[in-house]
A and B are shown apart, each in its own frame.
Chain A
Amino acid sequence: MKDTQTMERRLACSVDDLECGSSMTLQGAVRIAVYRNDDGDFFATADTCTHENWSLGEDSDLEGNEVICPLHMARFDIRTGRPLCLPATIALATYEVQIEDGKVYVLC
Chain B
Amino acid sequence: MSVLIVGASVAGIRTAQALRMRGYSDLITVIGEEIHHPYDKPPLSKDMLLPEGDGSPVQLLSAEEINALDVQLRLGVRAAKLNTSTREISTEDGEILGFDDLVIATGVTPRTLPGATELGGIYTVRNADDASALRERLPHARHVVVVGSGFIGSEFASVASGYGADVTIVEAQDVPMAHILGSEVGALVSSLHAENGVRLLTGTSFDHFTGDGQVESVVLADGRVLPADLVVIGIGAKPAIEWLSDSGLPLGNGIECDEQLCVLGADRIYAAGDVAHWPHGLYGKSLRIEHWTNANEHADIVAASIAGGPTRRPQPPYVWSDQYGHRIQIVGRPSEGRAVSVRGGSGSEPVVAIYAGTDGVVVGAVVLDNPRLLMKIRKAIANRAQAVTLDALLDPPVSTRL
Which residues does A use to contact B, with CB under 8 Å? Answer: 58-61, 63, 68, 70-73, 85-87, 89
Contact = CB atoms under 8 A, between A and B. Distances in A.
A86 B374 contact: no
B258 to A, nearest CB: 21
B375 A60 contact: yes
Contacts of A59: 371-372, 375
Contacts of A63: 379
Nearest to A73: B293
Nearest to B303: A86
A61 B375 contact: yes
B292 interface: yes
A71 B320 CA distance: 8
A71 B297 CA distance: 15
Contact of B376 (A61, A85, A86): A61
A80 B45 CA distance: 36
Interface string B368-394: 000110111011000000000000000
Given A70-B371, A72-B293, A85 B312 contact: yes
Main SS of the interface on chain A?
Answer: loop
B127 interface: no
A86 B320 contact: no
Contacts, number: 43
B91 interface: no
B17 interface: yes
A70 B372 contact: yes
B-side binding surface: helix, strand, loop or mixed?
A: helix
A73 B14 contact: no
Interface of B: 14, 17-18, 21, 61, 65, 292-293, 296-297, 299-300, 312, 315, 318, 320, 329, 371-372, 374-376, 378-379
Nearest to B42: A72
B18 A86 contact: yes
A70 B374 contact: yes
B315 A73 contact: yes
A87 B296 CA distance: 7
In the A-B complex, the 3 residue pairs with the smallest Cβ-Cβ separation, listed nearest first, are A61-B375, A70-B371, A86-B296
B314 to A, nearest CB: 13
Contacts of A68: 375
A85 to B, nearest CB: 6
Given A86-B18, A86-B299, A87-B296, A73 B318 contact: yes
Nearest to A61: B375
10 contacts: A59-B371, A61-B375, A63-B379, A70-B329, A72-B293, A73-B318, A85-B297, A85-B300, A86-B300, A89-B65
Contacts of A71: 320, 371
A89 B69 CA distance: 12
Given A70-B329, A86-B17, A86-B299, 7 more contacts: A60-B372, A61-B375, A71-B320, A73-B315, A73-B318, A86-B300, A89-B61
A37 B219 CA distance: 59
Contacts of A60: 372, 375
Nearest to B60: A87
A18 B255 CA distance: 47
Contacts of A89: 17, 21, 61, 65
A47 to B, nearest CB: 14
A35 to B, nearest CB: 14
A41 B169 CA distance: 52
A71 B378 CA distance: 12
Contacts of A73: 293, 296, 315, 318
B14 A58 contact: no
A85 B378 CA distance: 17
A86 B40 CA distance: 13
Contacts of B375: 59-61, 68, 70
A61 B17 contact: no
